[in-house]
């Protein structure tokens, strides 16, 4: 049993995870015997966590004596709060409005609410909340939504090549703070109640626990379950750290950023270096996280007085004025915007959104991504900085690019044809594969139950995205293979360089 005691051993709420759901009744009897108040939250069948109220090491010692054989871990319940610095800026940009008779898709903003300022009000399609309006601050959510819709105009450069789309204001926390179990439940319910009309979600929230080298976090697992169950794509910020203020090295991504089905986003500054606050991968078991980076501003230490300097990204305050702030939240908003625009321009079913394919959107974004001119590490940047939406959409009409979407079990063979090689002996290619498979949410053995590998090109490790460049002979097929019969949905992009 892994135990982590709260600082100074104060009475606190503790999170407890069992090794097997079949011990639940036994555990709950033990809690009742000692009059311990607790809350059990189930996210899907037999996947739950306990929140033990107001205990300290004295009762934890009892648990260690009586239940160590079936408790996986006990640790202080993580609390999420929104400390955000927003600086007012001068200037303004034109308000954009929906065009009549034009179809739009909707981006869900899982946050602390959206202020109905002039810039956002025309696009807010719906509000989904379990909080009273007077108890929500809307600071962070408004800033995120402003970047998603107006980011390029505010920065006066084409990062995403923005266009309008609808917004779902999905308020999952109020203006104070929230514990992990409740935050996760609110996220699950928001998607569960809106997934038929909202397929892409911006989640720029984290709980402040670092990911593990080997085990996937409950937060990451629940996000993967949500995406698999409801056929949606979540764009997730990697999390911010303040170690630069103490001249210490960066630390690992936060819980939730190990979600394999999510697009996880880190931040770079305007000079294309990794932002000092942006946390590092890799994910558990060597998985590639973050997936990509975008521009989220910069924070730095003022050597003279020890204060924090900010060179932020621009968006809007809740008063409707231009403002600036920094964080992986805002890099994530650009990628969520990019994903939404790509779907909006490839969607053919604006009524039921039955054609949504998260692997297709992920593959397009990751295929376009390149390292910055500062040659960032994979831990800092994942696959790199994506191209803008217009450039990515051009892939669909490019004779040098093949995009193949399908399902496979053990084997799938791709013949590129002589025309692709221009009938030359060989060609240099760039290839990106994104796929979905069954996952072992209880992590009894491997989390990824059926991996896809690419024979002779990409066979090392396990990850739901593979990307490589190579030389291939004309007449040679690209062979995808797996170790078992589990059906896997995939998108593969092959580009002749």
DSSP state letters, 4-56: -PPGGG--EEEEEEES-GGGHHHHHHHHHHTT--EEEEEEETTEEEEEEEEE-
What would the two tokens of residue 365 be? 């974004």
Average pLDDT of the residues in 204-230: 94
Q: What percent of the chain has pLDDT over 90?
A: 91
The Cα–Cα gap between 381 and 389 comes to 19
Helix orientation angle between 139-155 and 328-346, rounded to the nearest 10 degrees: 70
**Quick one: pLDDT at residue 287?**
97
User: Would you identify the CATH topology of the domain 87-393?
Assistant: Rossmann fold (3.40.50)
**Quick one: pLDDT at residue 135?**
86
Question: Is a pLDDT exceeding 80 seen at residue 175?
Answer: no
Structure-token match 């293979």, residue found:
481
Q: Where are the domains of the chain?
A: 2-77, 87-393, 398-496
> Which architecture characterizes domain 2-77 according to CATH?
2-Layer Sandwich (3.30)
Complete edge-to-edge strand list for the sheet that includes strand 263-268: 124-129, 166-171, 106-111, 200-203, 233-237, 263-268, 292-295
Average pLDDT of the residues in 191-219: 94
Average pLDDT of the residues in 203-226: 94
**Quick one: pLDDT at residue 475?**
87
Radius of gyration of the chain from its Cα atoms, rounded to whole angstroms: 23
Taking alpha carbons only, the member of 416, 460, 456, 433 closest to residue 364 is 433
**Quick one: pLDDT at residue 24?**
96
Note the pLDDT tens digit of each residue in 249-289: 999 999 999 999 999 999 999 999 999 999 999 999 999 99
**pTM, rounded to two decimals:** 0.96
Cα–Cα distance list, 56 to 13, 68, 179 (Å): 8, 16, 17
Three-state SS for 207? strand
Strands 298-301 and 313-316, sheet pairing: unpaired
Taking all residues of the chain, what is their mean pLDDT, rounded to a whole number? Answer: 95
Question: Is a pLDDT exceeding 80 seen at residue 81?
Answer: no
Going by pLDDT thresholds of 50, 70 and 90, the confidence category of residue 396 is: very high
**Quick one: pLDDT at residue 171?**
96
Q: What's the gap between Cα 127 and its chain centre? A: 22
Going by pLDDT thresholds of 50, 70 and 90, the confidence category of residue 471 is: very high
Question: Is a pLDDT exceeding 90 seen at residue 177?
Answer: no
Q: What percent of the chain has pLDDT over 70?
A: 100
Question: Is a pLDDT exceeding 80 seen at residue 325?
Answer: yes
Going by pLDDT thresholds of 50, 70 and 90, the confidence category of residue 83 is: low
Going by pLDDT thresholds of 50, 70 and 90, the confidence category of residue 324 is: very high
Class of domain 398-496: mainly beta
């Amino acid at each position: 049993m892994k135990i982590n005691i709260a600082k100074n051993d104060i009475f606190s709420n503790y999170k407890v995870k069992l090794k097997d759901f079949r011990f639940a009744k036994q555990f709950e009897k033990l809690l009742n015997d000692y009059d311990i108040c607790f809350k059990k939250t189930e996210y899907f069948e037999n996947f739950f966590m306990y929140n033990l109220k107001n205990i300290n090491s004295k009762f934890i010692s009892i648990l260690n004596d009586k239940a160590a054989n079936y408790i996986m871990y006990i640790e202080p319940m993580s609390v999420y709060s929104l400390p955000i610095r927003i600086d007012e800026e001068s200037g303004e940009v034109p308000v954009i409005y929906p065009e009549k008779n034009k179809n739009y898709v909707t981006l869900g903003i899982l946050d602390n609410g959206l202020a109905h300022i002039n810039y956002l009000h025309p696009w807010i399609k719906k509000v989904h909340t379990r909080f009273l309006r007077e108890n929500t601050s809307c600071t962070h959510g408004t800033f995120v939504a402003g970047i998603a819709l107006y980011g390029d105009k505010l920065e006066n450069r084409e990062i995403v090549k923005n266009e309008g789309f609808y917004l779902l204001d999905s308020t999952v926390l109020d203006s104070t703070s929230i514990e992990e179990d409740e935050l996760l439940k609110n996220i699950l319910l928001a998607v569960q109640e809106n997934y038929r009309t909202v397929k892409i979600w911006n989640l720029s929230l984290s709980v402040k626990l670092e990911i593990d080298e080997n085990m996937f976090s409950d937060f990451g697992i629940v996000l993967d379950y949500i995406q698999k169950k409801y056929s949606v794509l979540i764009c997730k910020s990697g999390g911010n750290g303040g170690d630069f203020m103490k001249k210490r090295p960066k630390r690992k991504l936060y819980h939730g950023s190990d979600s394999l089905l999510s697009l996880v986003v880190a931040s770079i500054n305007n000079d294309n270096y990794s932002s000092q606050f942006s946390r590092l991968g890799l994910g558990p078991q060597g998985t590639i996280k973050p997936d990509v980076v975008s521009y989220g501003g910069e924070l730095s230490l003022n050597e003279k007085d020890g204060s924090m300097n900010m060179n932020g990204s621009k968006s809007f305050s809740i008063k409707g004025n231009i403002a600036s702030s920094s964080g992986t939240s805002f890099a994530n908003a650009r990628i969520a915007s990019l994903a939404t625009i790509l779907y909006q321009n490839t969607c053919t079913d604006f009524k039921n959104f039955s054609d949504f394919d998260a692997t297709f959107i992920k593959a397009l974004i990751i295929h376009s991504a390149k390292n910055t001119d500062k040659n960032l590490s994979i831990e800092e940047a994942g696959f790199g900085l994506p191209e803008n939406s217009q450039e990515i959409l051009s892939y669909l009409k490019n004779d040098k690019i093949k995009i193949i979407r399908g399902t496979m079990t053990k084997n799938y063979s791709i013949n590129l044809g002589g025309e692709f090689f221009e009938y030359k002996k060989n060609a240099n290619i760039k290839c990106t594969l994104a796929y979905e498979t069954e996952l072992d949410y209880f992590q009894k053995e491997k989390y990824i139950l059926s991996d896809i590998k690419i024979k002779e090109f990409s066979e090392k490790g396990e990850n739901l995205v593979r990307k490589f460049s190579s030389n291939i002979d004309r007449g040679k097929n690209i062979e995808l293979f797996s170790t078992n019969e589990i059906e896997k949905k995939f998108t593969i992009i092959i580009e002749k360089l």
